[in-house]
Structure 1
């Protein structure tokens, strides 16, 4: 019923109703609607040809893009990160800051090796051991080159304004030299050492893994799990009570354990000295039913009296807690499970059995000798290798470790002293907790893919010695100094944890260890997901601060984990991962399923994941995904509160934002239609309608800048939509119709100058969020509208500020127009109940003299935006009562609608009364519930707040219904 600037045809029709000339020739080369095809390619060529956009030296704002692993193409989570950083880069650039934003690729360590192994098995039937190390390395390198090219194209396609001249790769020669240099410095400072210690071990990978690669499964009772390498499901979620007889006594200690398979490694039974059940047994021995020896009973206050039976068997070779007990009490350390997950020679007859097959046989043996007392359901947290699905084994292995204590204290102090800002600040608690209790970092990995550890074992017949050196030649010289010519030398065959090389990136991407890095170091900001705050961000802070004496950045911005519309984290296992291109270009359901099948054929997902993905696709996208374009996708990302822990992404929001893109397009087209080539200067006197929209635009600009500064992108987007979608398109453009059709040149010029100004400023405001649409429209309009800058791209423009608009806020005027808009909205609401053709006239009756004058002066605004022509504004004192109609009340005014037919009034009355009764019934039912004592006493405050909002909503709905005269 009212103007929405959604399509050109409707705009033209409405304009002709007001009888003024439309300049059709100005839109002959302007497409009918927003077109996305080919736009990205065109503007990427423009942007990347002008290197000064993205590659200045000595920048005032510097970031690195968290490097995607070369495991595959970018998913939606990557697009989310890229968009957040690109908005900051573009906004800073337009605010006069020189910006360096550095792209890069991470070799991915374990992740890449695993995915390439799966690919070779799925496509060629080859296992890693079927080919030579050199052949496998070549396969890894081919995979890396292919995926790197895809990733870089995706980044450019997403509009990322990166400085490609500074692109890095974490396995490049330069980066490898920097990694070796860092290792050498840390070793020389006594921070790197080699020792036997307990590590996370993946038998399937045959490697140590970091904590971030360990997932957990929580179970509450007996549960069967499928594990790689086992034909049958394995039982978990049980605890076993085993009896240990006390030597030279009739006493027996019952010990509860969930790890029967490691019992051959037991070296003691521990009890709490305050436990009256066992304290008299401390110092005695018990007979071990499997090892056929006696082991000691020790006392330790760390043993929990109320956990299990209160007696704890100590198996230091396979438990971190037990290892600490063993070191404290000088107990023997025995390892009974090998690196391949098979039982070793310390388990007697069980040698060579897989650990969970051995478990059942051990249970059978304990049952036969009467040592197994009971089996019960028991809650467990099971550590799983995220790469293989295998269960982690804790084993003692000689590895390289990095001493983290002092580095972590410095990182804690930096946050406490506010040298380092963490945003959102709620993550400071995690920072303090994890760094205050940090353990030394095992940085060795037993992989084919990664940085070889720059350490060399130098040995002869009598002794061996580890030498750390940048390269083989330096190691050789050091060995000769120690042993002369009588020695052998061999480089450590392990590689470094990927997080070690990634932890150096703020330095290495800026040139470290060359001294030139100081010209650009440190970075301004580190933006990434909160899930890797400790695993990556903290390690960057600790390593870079240790190696340079300076923090690598002063601000950490953490975004939430991207989830689907149901709040589930996007993952292959859940089948809900979305490729950005599917949203940008659209995809049919058949092609969506074919993409999933292709991933299965390439070994990227397994059969179970394939089935789940197909089910999810059919449920969420039965008709496929429509083409939404890059700008709509970016705006959807920015509409999310990035500081929430979990951020729900809904593809339907992309569809809505595509419509917003088209709204902007049609608004620009409309302005072209009602203007001409004549230069319009700012009139001496602007109409109240123009002053109002300029004031609203000034407010919008203030809110957008303030919220980008505070990293609340969703609030900035909300301010933009409130202004452009609602105030500018829905009200202002409609309100100018009568003025543009008038003979008053000042009014016409006032409207034309203002609408052009609003468009020009709005496109600059939108640019960081929607760069393709903004540049495309700006380049078209600058050729035809005065007041637009003659520039290649909005990258060259300045970002709007309130100061630029002479701080032309007029809050009193805004308040007045807020009331006018409420009145118009009330009138529009009436038109939802009754067809406009049945309304003969409308009277707005006002008490207040000032309000009367204001509404009278802006009667054209009300007429144009309400689309009700026969409208009068009257003072209460001068108004003569009439009958047969309906009325509403709004902002101290009574709005009376007189209808052409009494039958219409009666029919409307019946319809409205029925609807009112339903709402009133719903409201009263809710109010009755909220007034009960039970509700008041036990309902949570959060639930009460939700219900109070429901009450307000229903009350507002009632107020919208018309009343009858």
Structure 2
């Protein structure tokens, strides 16, 4: 490409940045050019990251936008660093969510339920829905700027991933790590399936706590419950073995009201003697803790609710829904005088199905489980020995608490949409697990298990199944283990731990170092509103990120999210913050246009993996030029460190303040003087302008890709910033002397500006002044100081009416034509009197021993702080009065 100066292309940039006119065009250009596609044979060092697969039913929300911004920033930077950077996209089939949605669609459009179709017909309808309506989030990812390799897009139900699921199921089954058993699981009576813990949302519901007396007289016990209907299935009462109140009753029996059955009283250490009466009812078929008590004491498990939540126990309550049976049972107990106490309303945590909001029922059910003990131990060891690093490291304690105490994982779901359990049953009780490359048994009486696998089972394979496992593919060899996983801390257990277990198991032949699914796990927080509250539709504070992208541009949303991305911390966000980021993007645009209009040059050539800019020898550059290069160089190193430590907020903050405060503000202003003079000094400044803007745009690109690409193309006339090299810090550019000198210049200018403001001068108002330099470092900066502080040369009738002395520079000003000294003295004297009153009030409070001894320490400390601030204000006003000329 022919090299040209950016100045030749300034006219191609509109005066204002319009994201809507840029973003789609640039993304299509990137995609068409194949910048995001990877070549496993390139020989470049690999970088790989997988997307937490969004549900095929989902739409982009702020949580997605937050995580995707971080992942895209890491990927874009890695690509610019010269790595073979793969960000692999895909979607999850979302078993329950998708089946529920398609069932609703079927009912709405055809008035049918899935049971009006065969299983095969229904699954075909789901595939049709997926093709026509699913996956809208993929288009929204493009809108956000995700630089994913779309040629490698995967879906958890595609042929390759389905084969991977079948393969690992078969291996686990053959190794005795998958088994079938009857256990208590979460059950949704509406969806008619078992649920994983993450599919259950707990919230406080109003209920009733009733205390019921079992038995008579001295041998009676009182138990409390919020689910009175389940007492019909009680098979024991449990007390703590050390509870003196009940020790004499252990081993005895008590009559269960309304049933005529006698049930034993057992001693179990699970019971908390301090809670309630210290006695608890035991319903093994309808409570997970009771199930364990039942196993320890060999108690029968009586199921009194069916899969729809209907009472099946013989008697007057048979056929009632569980919520109809509850008040009916309480009423019957009250009639018999068995109700000892009632508390209503009683708030308690109740689990709800996250898909349909039905109250979840603990239910004894025959399900498939993964024996997690050996898998979880391996997952814990990988973090303990440092093969996998968690960020922030404080999350390790929570991780160990989970993996070290993990219960066996229920993996079967009673759905039609999903990976069907690859187990066949024969007419004579045979059970055969069939791998994906094996033929299932045929003949009369053979049938396949009707359940499907938990969605988390297939997504646990994601880091290696998406790369072609179980085949030994080029992608798998090149990009596994993946470099980093970025996800929310809320799924550390549900997804991260499962990927660790399956990765270490499936890839064990690679050895312990290479079997882990990723080297680093970055756990980000949740996006909350600007007040720190969780976003939800019910609260009315939920935000559609597409609305903010429409209003302010994708870069503004991305920058806002990235600036809040401290590892492990939640991210508050408000619309005014996105507006602020929009302003920053506009500032980047306008400042770059200034550089271009002033002939900033980037006629650099690509050498040694970076741009070797057209910089003149450093000794020929001005102090201001050397200062901005030194500051830029320092920021490059600091940003690199922040990225390596996954401190995205710190990286963004460094870039924000360097770009806005130092480059766009101080350096641009300092550059105006030599640019106006012309000559060699102006040419040098143009070269530095071009170089620093080039580097700054490249540093900003991973987080705000659209505006930086549009500007960089005009500034450099090169191919794309997407594939431009990442900046490197260069020792030769460090210049502490230039930094110290400009630092003192900034001090002088800031103090003069502050003094002008205190005198009530307008920002653009020019005032005559004399400057005296005792600081040799600043003797050559008089022109800059005058320009930056709006000071003119002294007039013939100049009279010093005020002066400022700072950093070895004395500035004498003639304010006689600029300030009404009498009015200013009157205003300052009024402010001083008010400040003296505030000081006296604070001193009186602190002198009052009753106040200092009885008031909260925080309140007393606030008064002390207010006194110090008031004393500083009095000193400032007194100095201003002293500086005013006498009338």
- State the TM-score, normalizing by the size of structure 1: 0.82
Residue 206 (structure 1) aligns with:
192
Q: 1:131 to 1:456 in 2, by over 3 A?
A: closer
Give the secondary-structure state (helix, strand or coil) at the position aligned to 1:28: helix
Q: Measured at CA, do residues 950 and 903 of structure 1 come closer, stay the same or move farther in structure 2, by a change above 3 Å?
A: closer
Counterpart of 1:596? none
Q: CA shift at 1:648, angstroms?
A: 0.8
The equivalent residue for 2:814 is: 898
Counterpart in the other structure of 2:463: 506
Task: Please name the residue that 2:211 is paired with.
Answer: 241
User: Deviation at 1:527?
Assistant: 0.8
Q: Contact (CA 8 Å) 1:884, 1:902: kept in 2 or not?
A: no
Distance of aligned partners of 1:824 and 1:913 in 2 relative to their CA distance in 1, 3 Å threshold? farther
1:690 Cα offset (Å): 1.1
The aligned residue for residue 633 of structure 2 is: 698
User: How big is each residue's C-alpha offset from its partner over 1:820-839, in whole Å with a ceiling of 9 and x where there is no partner?
Assistant: 21321232234432236876
2:732 and 2:867 map into 1 onto residues whose CA distance is: 39
Find the counterpart in structure 2 of residue 869 from structure 1: 792
Structure 1 residue 200: Cα displacement = 0.4
User: Could you say if the C-alpha distance between residues 634 and 476 of structure 1 is closer, same or farther in structure 2, counting changes exceeding 3 Å?
Assistant: same
Distance 1:447 1:931, change over 3 A: farther
From 86, 90, 98, the equivalent of 2:76 is: 90
Secondary structure, counterpart of 1:318 in structure 2: coil
C-alpha separation between the residues in 2 aligned to 1:860 and 1:47? 46
Aligned partners of 2:861 and 2:464: how far apart in 1? 49
Structure-1 separation of matches of 2:101 and 2:804: 66
Q: Contact conserved, 2:80 with 2:723, CA < 8 A, in 1? A: yes
Deviation sequence 1:502-524 (CA, Å, 0-9, x none): 00011101110002234432111
Give the distance between the partners of 1:733 and 1:172, measured in 2 at CA.
Answer: 55
2:664 matched to which residue of 1?
729
Within 2, Cα distance between the matches of 1:843 and 1:152? 64
Q: RMSD across aligned C-alpha pairs, in angstroms?
A: 3.1
Displacement of 1:545 in angstroms is 0.7
Give the one of 556, 559, 563 matched to 1:639: 563
Q: Please give the alpha-carbon distance, in whole angstroms, between the structure 1 residues aligned to 2:533 and 2:112.
A: 35
- TM-aligned CA distance change 1:746 to 1:518, over 3 Å: closer
Which of the numbers 485, 489, 493 marks the counterpart of 1:534? 493
Does the 8 Å CA contact 2:413/2:451 hold for their aligned counterparts? Answer: yes
Matching residue within 719, 733, 747 for 2:681: 747
User: Is residue 206–residue 339 contact of structure 1 (8 Å, CA) maintained in 2?
Assistant: yes
CA contact (8 A) 1:737 1:864 kept: no
Kindly tell me: are residues 838 and 721 of structure 1, through their superposed partners in 2, closer, same or farther at Cα, counting changes over 3 Å?
A: closer
Give the whole-Å Cα distance in 1 for the aligned partners of 2:467 and 2:837.
Answer: 68
Instruction: From 193, 204, 211, give the equivalent of 2:179.
Output: 193
CA displacement 1:336-376 (0-9 Å, x = unmatched): 111101111x2422111011211111111111111112213
CA contact (8 A) 2:46 2:478 kept: no
On the 8 A contact 1:499/1:536 being kept in 2, the answer is yes
Instruction: Say whether 1:853 aligns with 2:776.
Output: yes
Check conservation: 2:236, 2:299, Cα contact below 8 A.
yes
Distance of aligned partners of 1:108 and 1:871 in 2 relative to their CA distance in 1, 3 Å threshold: farther
CA contact (8 A) 1:217 1:381 kept: yes
Change (3 A) 1:645 1:459: farther
On the 8 A contact 1:453/1:494 being kept in 2, the answer is: yes
The answer to whether residue 749 in structure 2 is matched with residue 824 in structure 1 is yes
Q: Is the 8 A contact 1:698 1:807 kept in 2?
A: no
Paired residues of 2:58 and 2:135 also in contact (CA < 8 A)? no
**Does 2:489 correspond to 1:489?**
no
Partner residue in 1 for 2:606: none
**Equivalent position of 1:547 in the other structure:** 506
Q: Residues of 2 paired with 1:926 and 1:510: CA distance?
A: 69
Q: Which residue of 2 aligns with 1:648?
A: 572
C-alpha separation in 1, matches of 2:733 and 2:777: 20
1:145-194 deviations in Å (ceiling 9; x for gaps): 24445322222222211111211011101111110111000000000000
- Give me the whole-angstrom Cα distance separating, in 2, the residues matched to 1:173 and 1:936: 74
Residues 759, 280 of structure 1: alpha-carbon distance in 2 compared, 3 angstrom cutoff: same
Q: Relative to structure 1, is the Cα distance of residues 159 and 307 closer, same or farther in structure 2, using a 3 angstrom cutoff?
A: same
Cα deviation for residue 631 of structure 1 reads: 1.7
Shift of the 938–158 alpha-carbon distance from structure 1 to 2, 3 Å rule, reads farther
Deviation string 1:664-694 (CA, Å, 9 cap, x unpaired) is: 2222222222228897751551111111111
Question: Could you say which residue in structure 1 is the equivalent of 2:434?
Answer: 469
Once the two structures are TM-superposed, the CA of residue 532 in structure 1 deviates from its matched residue by: 0.5
Per the TM alignment, residue 818 of structure 1 is displaced from its structure 2 partner at its CA by: 2.1
Equivalent-residue separation in structure 1 for 2:505 and 2:631 (angstroms): 50
Query: 2:608 aligns to what?
Result: none
- Cα deviations across residues 524-563 of structure 1 (Å, max 9, x unaligned)? 1111111101000100000111121111111101111011
**Partners of 1:27 and 1:572 in 2: how far apart?**
46
Equivalent in the alignment of 2:609: none
Higher alpha-carbon deviation: 573-582 or 759-768: 573-582
Partner of 1:842: 769
Q: 1:950 to 1:672 in 2, by over 3 A?
A: farther
CA offset digits 1:854-890 (Å, max 9, x no partner): 2222122212222223379xxxxxxxx97644x5565
Give the SS at the match of 2:306: coil
* Number of equivalenced pairs: 851
Which shows bigger deviation, 899-908 or 418-427?
899-908
Structure 1 segments unaligned to the other structure (5+ residues): 1-22, 224-235, 478-484, 586-626, 784-790, 873-880
Residue 640 of structure 1 and its aligned partner are, at CA, apart by 1.1
The residue aligned with 1:769 is 703
Alpha carbons of structure 1 residues 158 and 55: separation in structure 2 relative to 1, 3 Å: same
Task: Indicate conservation of the 8 Å contact 1:200/1:211, yes or no.
Answer: yes
Contact preservation (8 Å) 1:507, 1:544: yes
| Residues 500 and 149 of structure 1, relative CA distance in 2, 3 Å threshold | closer
CA separation of 1:191/1:318 partners in 2, compared to 1, >3 Å: closer, same or farther?
same
Give the Cα–Cα distance (whole angstroms) in 1 for the partners of residues 648 and 858 of structure 2: 26
2:479 is the alignment partner of 1:520 = yes
Instruction: Give the C-alpha shift of residue 426 in structure 1.
Output: 1.4
Change (3 A) 1:857 1:637: same
> For 1:143 and 1:252, how far apart are their aligned partners in 2?
59
- The answer to whether structure 1 residue 32 and structure 2 residue 15 are counterparts is yes
Which SS does the other structure have where 2:441 is aligned?
Answer: helix
Whether 1:61 and 2:44 are equivalent positions in the alignment is no
Distance 1:292 1:652 in 2: 67
Separation of aligned partners in 1, 2:451 and 2:149: 34
Q: Report the CA distance shift for 1:948/1:26 in structure 2 as closer, same or farther (over 3 A).
A: farther
* Alpha-carbon separation, structure 2, partners of 1:949 and 1:118: 62
Decide which of 749, 757, 760 is 2:694's aligned counterpart.
Answer: 760
Matched, 1:657 2:581: yes
SS of the residue aligned with 2:483? coil
Conserved 8 A contact 1:56-1:100: no
8 Å Cα contact 1:74-1:151 kept in structure 2: yes
- Give CA deviations for 1:228-271 in whole Å, capped at 9, x if unaligned: xxxxxxxx0x322211225xx75322222222110111111122
Q: 1:939 & 1:502 partners in 2: Cα distance?
A: 56
Residue 87 (structure 1) shift:
0.6
In the alignment, which of 764, 778, 802 is matched to residue 729 of structure 2? 802
Q: Give the direction of change, closer, same or farther, for the CA distance of 1:953–1:443 in structure 2 (3 Å limit).
A: farther
The C-alpha deviation readout for 1:619-656, integer Å capped at 9, x for no partner, is: xxxxxxxx211222221121113324311122222222
What is the distance in 1 between the residues matched to 2:464 and 2:545?
31
Q: Paired residue for 1:231? A: none
User: How far off is 1:306 after superposition?
Assistant: 1.7
Decide whether aligned partners of structure 1 residues 682 and 284 sit closer, same or farther in structure 2, where only a CA change above 3 A counts: same
Return closer, same or farther for 1:915/1:337 CA change in 2, 3 Å cut-off.
farther
Give the secondary-structure state (helix, strand or coil) at the position aligned to 1:761. Answer: helix
Structure 2 unaligned spans of 5+? 1-5, 509-514, 604-613
What's the counterpart of residue 6 of structure 1?
Answer: none
Q: If the length of structure 2 is used for normalisation, what is the TM-score?
A: 0.89
**In structure 1, distance between residues paired with 2:107 and 2:541:** 24
The reply on whether 1:47 has 2:30 as its aligned counterpart is yes
Matched residue of 1:476: which SS? coil
